[in-house]
């Protein structure tokens, strides 16, 4: 990457960071390109040159944010944590991310019709391959039964994650910390299952 590309990338990251903060705080409609440019220390023309429209900026910012979340998942995947601990960390991150997205996306998706398509594409091209790799690790380490299909395992993960998200919304940090170990035990061993030895 040459100097120009590095500078461009740095400016884009600055724009993504500022736009994320502003969109999260004020919502898509109330934030102008001029306001983003001012806080990112770039010209509005730079934003239009890079992204074309505010809608495209939002879409690109969202993809950039999701890529960064996936990078965090990859770091957890490659860490020295046990598979149950990796699962716990990834589930907690996923719940936080879902909470953030569910707070902001409904307000924006009606104005930006491509968001649902982008989310589907991200899930298909990036998130699903990661979780398939994660399930393979769980099977390899003996935490996920070999006979479980990827489809049913993913369904189970998704169901658990969605319910965990609902639990999270109605809880305080103390209740979450106290209940997480029990929830993780239920996740791996069910109501009457045996712990892996």
Domains of the chain plus CATH, in order, are: 1-52 (1.10.10.60), 58-189 (1.10.357)
What one-character-per-residue DSSP string does 128-151 give?
HHHHHHHHHHHHHTTSS-TTS-HH
Cα separations in angstroms, 18 against 39, 57, 142: 7, 11, 44
**Which band of pLDDT confidence, cut at 50, 70 and 90, is reported for residue 51?**
very high
Q: pLDDT exceeding 90 applies to what percent of the chain?
A: 36
The whole-angstrom separation of Cα 123 and Cα 117 is 10
> Can you state the angle between helices 150-169 and 173-189, rounded to 10 degrees?
160
DSSP-based helix, strand, coil % in the chain, nearest 5? 80, 0, 20
Say what the pTM is. Answer: 0.78
Question: What is the chain's Cα-based Rg?
Answer: 20
Q: pLDDT tens for residues 98-123? A: 777 766 655 565 556 677 788 788 88
CB atoms inside a 10 Å sphere around CB 7: 11
pLDDT at 196: 52
Backbone torsion region of residue 31, taken as left when φ is above 0, otherwise alpha when ψ lies between -120 and 50, otherwise beta: beta
Name the DSSP letter for residue 43: -
pLDDT at 14: 95
- pLDDT at 77 > cutoff 90: yes
């Amino acid at each position: 990457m040459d100097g120009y590309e590095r500078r461009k990338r740095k400016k884009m990251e600055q724009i993504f960071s500022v736009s994320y903060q502003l969109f999260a705080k004020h919502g898509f409609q109330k934030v102008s390109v001029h306001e983003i440019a001012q806080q990112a220390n770039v010209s509005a023309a730079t934003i239009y040159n890079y992204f074309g429209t505010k809608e495209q900026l939002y879409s690109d910012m969202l993809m950039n944010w999701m890529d960064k979340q996936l990078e965090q998942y990859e770091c957890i995947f490659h860490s020295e944590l046990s598979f149950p601990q990796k699962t716990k960390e990834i589930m907690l991150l996923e719940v936080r991310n879902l909470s953030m997205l569910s707070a902001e996306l409904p307000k924006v998706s009606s104005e930006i019709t491509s968001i649902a398509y982008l989310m589907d594409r991200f899930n298909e091209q990036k998130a699903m391959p990661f979780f398939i790799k994660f399930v393979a690790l769980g099977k390899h380490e003996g935490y996920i039964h070999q006979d479980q299909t990827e489809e049913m395992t993913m369904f189970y993960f998704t169901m658990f994650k969605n319910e965990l998200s609902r639990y999270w919304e109605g809880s305080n940090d103390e209740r979450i910390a106290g209940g997480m170990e029990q929830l993780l035990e239920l996740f791996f061993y069910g109501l009457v299952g045996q712990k892996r030895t």
